[in-house]
Every structure is written in structure tokens, then in C-alpha cells.
Amino acid sequence: MTHVLSPRQRWLPTSGECRTIAAMQSQQPTALVPDAFAHFGDLLRYLRRRAQLTQRELSIAVGYNFAQISRLESGQRLPDPAIVAAVFIPALDLEEQPAWTARLIELAVQAARQAGRKGVFATPSAAQTAQA
């Protein structure tokens, strides 16, 4: 049976509904901090979305193919810490956010170190190729 309330009546939740409402209010998202991220790709995806950029838009801003951004976010491509610092930080508008900047670069360095221990090496950047 559906009850229709007149404009003067108020809806009052039952005790069970009160508990549900209270539980929903307590599940508000908590603020994320840079240290909450353990993988470069997860942090890159978060920061890209926070900047309201698509993978294609970020790829254009940093001079990558959008598939390369996808591979970075999924951990299938190794980040180059120097390129992250020089190109990704400005593209994600992080110059005034040192904690996020430091964490993104730290995770890029960490990913490169872990890959080196496993015998996996990133393809050389254009700058490294030009120096050779």
C-alpha cells in the first residue's frame, strides 16, 4: 500500500530506516592522501581523473599515444621518472601540490627499480637514444 503525504505531513523514517540512513551517512568518502597509493598507475589514473582529463587528453598534453597512458595506468609500461617530473606534473597541474608531485615521482622511481630487479627494462626514451 502506498501512502501519499499531504504538503503538511512529514515523512518520518522507521527505526530500521534510521539505521540505514545513519549507515549511509557514515560511509562518506574519506579524503585521499598521496601515501594512500602504492602503485604508479593507480596514482596516475586518480590524478588524471581528478584533473578531469581523458587518457586521450592527457596523452596529447604529454606527447604520448593514448595507448601508452593506458599501459602506464595498468602497469604494463614503465614510467620514466624524468619525464614524469618534466611533463606529467605540469599536464596534471601539480606544480603547486608538492606532496602529490613527490609521491608520483617516488612511485615512478620505485616502479623502475622493481622492474630492474626483475630484469625488465623500460625502452629508452628519445633523449637517451639521442645521447647514445
Burial class (CB in 10 A: 0-12, 13-18, 19+), 38: exposed
| Rounded-to-integer distance, Cα 44 and Cα 46, Å | 5
| Rounded-to-integer distance, Cα 15 and Cα 10, Å | 16
pTM score, whole prediction: 0.68
Res 54: pLDDT: 97
Res 9: pLDDT: 54
Q: Which three three-digit cell numbers place residue 25?
A: 551517512
Q: Which three three-digit cell numbers place residue 11?
A: 515523512
Res 40: pLDDT: 97
Neighbouring C-beta atoms of residue 11, cutoff 10 Å: 7
Res 15: pLDDT: 55
- pLDDT tens string, the chain, 132 residues long: the values are 555 555 555 545 555 544 444 444 444 445 689 999 999 999 999 999 999 999 999 999 999 999 999 999 999 999 999 999 999 999 999 999 999 999 999 999 999 888 776 655 455 444 444 444
